[in-house]
Chain A
Amino acid sequence: MTVEQDIEALDQFPVGMRVLAVDDDQTCLRILQTLLHRCQYHVTTTNQAQTALELLRENKNRFDLVISDVDMPDMDGFKLLELVGLEMDLPVIMLSAHSDPKYVMKGVKHGACDYLLKPVRIEELKNIWQHVVRKGKLKKKTSSVSNGGEYGGDSDHNGVRANRKRKDQFEEEAEEEERGNENDDPTAPKKPRVVWTRELHNKFLVAVDHLGVKEAVPKKILDMMNVDKLTRENVASHLQKFRVALKKITDEANQQANMAAIDSHFMQMSSLKGFGSFHHNHHHHHRQIGSGQYHNGATAMRHYPSNMTLGRLDSLAGRFPNVSSSLPRNHNDGGYILQGLPMASPSLTSQQSSLMASPSNLLLLNGQPQTSPPSLNPGFSPRFDINKRLDQWSNAALSTNIPQSDVHSKPDALEWNLLNSNLDTNPTTFCTNTDFGSSNAAQANCFEIQRREHGIEEGLCMGQQKQQSGFMASDAGSLNDIVNSIMTKEESQAEFSEGDLGFGWFSPLRTCI
């Protein structure tokens, strides 16, 4: 749909809501189709779950809602439900002639927004649009969005707004529940919360990393993690958030246009104090802070805005010499800092890289060009922050994410805020962790990781500018994860207490806020 069409559709919502109906029974499908038409939805039908998946994968934004039968010959309806939830994060309603509570429970656990019994009545279908709103999938291109409604997964623009909203919400509320996009299906029974501690999360990351993004399905992840009392559903919802965060990062990365000289600047400065300065208004999108060089390096960095510090360090390394350019005060995202670094000195050798590594770490942390550009506050301990953030994100995620249908934004926002606050308040902590002497090695690792991750970073680039704190948080979280996994691989984590350098790099994310 074009933007105009989208807007129109939104204005008339729920009229025109795009539903994908899946049922192997032709009779039921036909009836369902007509019922949905009666409700004035736009209906696409298929009697094969596989086809449905293909349709969805082809264009995630083509549908607002999926209704699927449970018993289907080519694929279990629950499996489809899970996949849709994970990959596309669309609300899914289950349909079945089974009224057995066990099935209903299973549906809910697999993330169904609702479970309807056949024969479906039109009255029930008339209200299903609520699930789209709940999931915050209501894509609005305008800024006047209902509370929590603008998830806008399909465009960074929306994402930014969503982030902003989340961030605002977060700032208002305690770090506990995120209410904005909270998708709390009232019918979903409360499950005991699993706290995704750092350790747990690390395991998760290791598993995901090991399996590869494509193969990382909850069951396998669960098996690899080998944690007692952890259920597949826990993993599934966690993975869901992770993927969403990943996606955001990817989207954001593509937005990065701003390589800040600040980054390089920061690199030189090992003082993290600069961090504060970077805390520039984040609303600006990519500011070209540095020279055009930034551009190239920046891309890499950008991709990382906060999470993928790895990549940034990489580019940073190359940029080091030019770091001296004035810190781009207006650099919005912490990530830029790093990004700028690489730009600055393309000629940096690996040695420089390592050198840069340190400062870059700091830079990342700082990401705040504004205050005192040249001074990176070594005391900054992004790492700690990140770790904290991660935990908090985990907690937040967990606390808010009982039903699978939770929206991911919350944990992210939480994380972000936490990170921000952390960064702001503990500028010196970082130093302890990243003393260059010891951290060099780690950093070298980091660099490697970065390099390796560079590719990932690209994809994960977060549009710092665009992102609101909430968004950043999510990125940070996910990046943390990514970094974590990377770090794990590189065994660099051994060198760090908790906050791998990678984490430290998250701090720049914060600046984006």
Chain B
Amino acid sequence: MRALILVGGFGTRLRPHVVLAVSYMSDALEAAMREQEQRLGIRISMSHEKEPLGTAGPLALARDLLAEDGEPFFVLNSDVICEFPFAALARFHRQHGGEGSLVVTRVEEPAKYGVVVCEADTGRICRFVEKPRVFVSNKINAGLYIFNPGILQRIQLRPTSIEKEIFPAMAQDGQLYAMELQGFWMDIGQPKDFLTGMCMYLQALRAQHPEKLHSGPGVVGNVLVDPSAKIGANCVIGPNVTIGAGVVVEDGVRIKRCTVLEGARIRSHSWLESCIVGWSCSVGQWVRMENVTVLGEDVIVNDELYLNGANVLPHKSIAESVPEPRIIM
């Protein structure tokens, strides 16, 4: 089977033949994908949009790749994290025989998204309502679909929104069905939600593969640490921390609810909560970072500073505290 991942930058999910629909082709992306191909023994193709094609257009662009074997194919939104029930979705899809299936998930505040109204027993979708002002349903589109190749006849090669143009038409024709997602789901497009999604992911990992989580003195709760990372003495790491490859955490550091990306260094006695530390960053000694502070790639934070909700663009050097949330360019 095939899967198309709608990405702007890097996609992260892997299938036997993965097509990445990208609007910006970079050497770094290609190199990373070659590595993943090797690692997993799968084929990854790139479908490069020269002009933005929306959420449906990319399917038309990748038409030949997707329809190649006549089988249904998956489409994924890369901004989503969940347990990805591909097998269950494929089964559900074959059972009802319709043209397409999408995964829905329950949320507490459906009005922030587009809600899906469907028949309780069959799951056939009746209609979509964008950001409803009164309560209609608490199920929203989770951004994971499976389609028969026939859908490609509905989509032209122009900027098209799958939610606004394609799905309503399919629902009208009774061809679209919804399967409810089990387990966690998060739209991780915003840093704040990214961290929430990370916590959910780690919690699911604890339930299913607890051996993958880190343990030891100074480790609290769910913590994922790359084997090549180094953590110093008298640190307290966690709960809800992920530490990437080659990261160095010096002595006396406290980290809670953070993602620390590859190659970063956190110097001694610093305190981090709810942060994303970008690749190759250097965070100084006695630094305090909190409240969804996000450091882009290769940012240097000087010693003894306080960053509260700072959004720092890549390659910046920070020499002054940021006591109230703001963007540093």
Q: Do A and B bind each other?
A: no
